[in-house]
Amino acid sequence: MVCDDECGMMNAKRKIGIYTSPVMLPEAAPMPSPARVSGARFMRTVVSAAAIVLSGALYAADIERTGGPYVPTPQAVVDAMLDFAKVGPKDFVIDLGSGDGRIVLTAAQRHSARGRGFDIDPELVAQSNAEAQKRGLADRVSFVQQDVLQAPIESATVVTLYLLPGMMQNLQAKFIRELKPGTRIVAHDFPFGDWKPDRETSVDLPEKYGSPGPWKSNLFYWVVPARVQGVWQVSAPGLFNVPVALALQQQYQVLDGSTRAGGKAVPLAGGKVDADRVVFKLALPPGTVEFKGAIDGERMGGEATAGGRTFRWTAVRSPVAAQVP
Ligand SMILES: C[S@@+](CC[C@H](N)C(=O)[O-])C[C@H]1O[C@@H](n2cnc3c(N)ncnc32)[C@H](O)[C@@H]1O
């Protein structure tokens, strides 16, 4: 059986002495009653307290846990994370900084998924692999001792995280570079920097970090967007007589850009990328045209609707612009 919170905290206390110190229950950041503070302030305070708990033990560890010390996610939150990502039998779940392996083990046991955990701590990795053997899950899950920044993650369909904000920030670029479009990411308590989540939720807990609550665990969810940035030649017979150039700038799942029509720049509106799906509007001379389509490498296409009529459109990315990250 995987450790429950109590057991996880015992391990943490054994591994990192500071867990028995007041850092565990920071007097500087007492938990306020949600009845006495606004929801946003309560959430900020909870997240700050979580950061204090996670970061407080950094220098007491005997190995360099740059993503934070071992503090297990409560099982109720593990369940909520996997439900939030709608994990199923076709998924391959990677937990970065996998601790005692509970997220990957639960994904396999309850959702019939496969998966892998990476952790810097050899004892936690050995414990997780032993638990996988014990539960008869070793053919579907494995745990590897590796720094999360070096971990091979391309095979993931779901990535889970409970790491400090600095590491979340460091992992952002790796995720955009290495994960397939459509990969879901769920993080416990700490979001990325400028990559805003697609969805958020929270879980109320009577107890966390071995101390009575009320506590909230905040969950953040992202879908890795396809890379759409660049200059595209768009053809839409019936809508334009000749292909038009469309310049797209991408900030994660948000698309901006422009084309030219009648000698004027026409800005793009409502541009979004959801996995390999794209949607945007252009206010062209006949009226607003809504484009919906799918991206496949250097090509995309779909349907454009204008004035109640539907047109097929296709686009090819210009090779030079395709190099833009
Ligand atoms: C807060 S615990 C989360 C454990 C587990 N994911 C969970 O949610 O229950 C963070 C884990 O990340 C590991 N860790 C910290 N820095 C790491 C790094 N640079 N590479 C790999 N693992 C790391 C720690 O050893 C610890 O087990």
Tell me the pLDDT tens digit for each residue of 290-302: 999 999 999 999 9
What pTM was estimated for this model as a whole?
Answer: 0.82
Supply the DSSP symbol for 180: P
Q: How far apart are the two ends of the chain, measured CA to CA in Å?
A: 45
Ligand 1 atom nearest residue 98's Cα = 6
Structural domains of the chain sorted by starting position, each given as residue range(s) with its CATH number in brackets: 5-223 (3.40.50.150), 230-323 (2.40.128.20)
The reply to whether ligand 1 has any atom less than 6 angstroms from the CB of 91 is no
Mutate which of 52, 93, 120, 219 to test ligand 1's pocket (most atoms within 8 Å of Cβ)? 120
List, for residues 23-63, the tens digit of each pLDDT value.
222 222 222 333 333 444 444 555 565 565 555 544 445 78
User: Do residues 249 and 259 touch, judged by C-beta distance below 8 A?
Assistant: no
The reply to whether ligand 1 has any atom less than 6 angstroms from the CB of 147 is yes
List per-residue pLDDT tens for the chain, 325 residues long. 333 333 332 333 333 322 222 222 222 222 233 333 344 444 455 556 556 555 554 444 578 899 999 999 999 999 999 999 999 999 999 999 999 999 999 999 999 999 999 999 999 999 999 999 999 999 999 999 999 999 999 999 999 999 999 999 999 999 999 999 999 999 999 999 999 999 999 999 998 888 888 899 999 999 999 999 999 999 999 988 889 999 999 999 999 999 988 788 999 999 999 999 999 999 987 789 999 999 999 999 999 999 899 999 999 999 865 443 3
Between CA 27 and CA 34 the distance in angstroms is: 17
CA 82 → CA 31, 181, 224, 244, 273, distances in Å? 27, 19, 17, 43, 23
Ligand 1 atom nearest residue 8's Cα = 9
Which positions ≥6 away from 54 have C-beta within 8 Å?
Answer: 68, 69, 71, 164
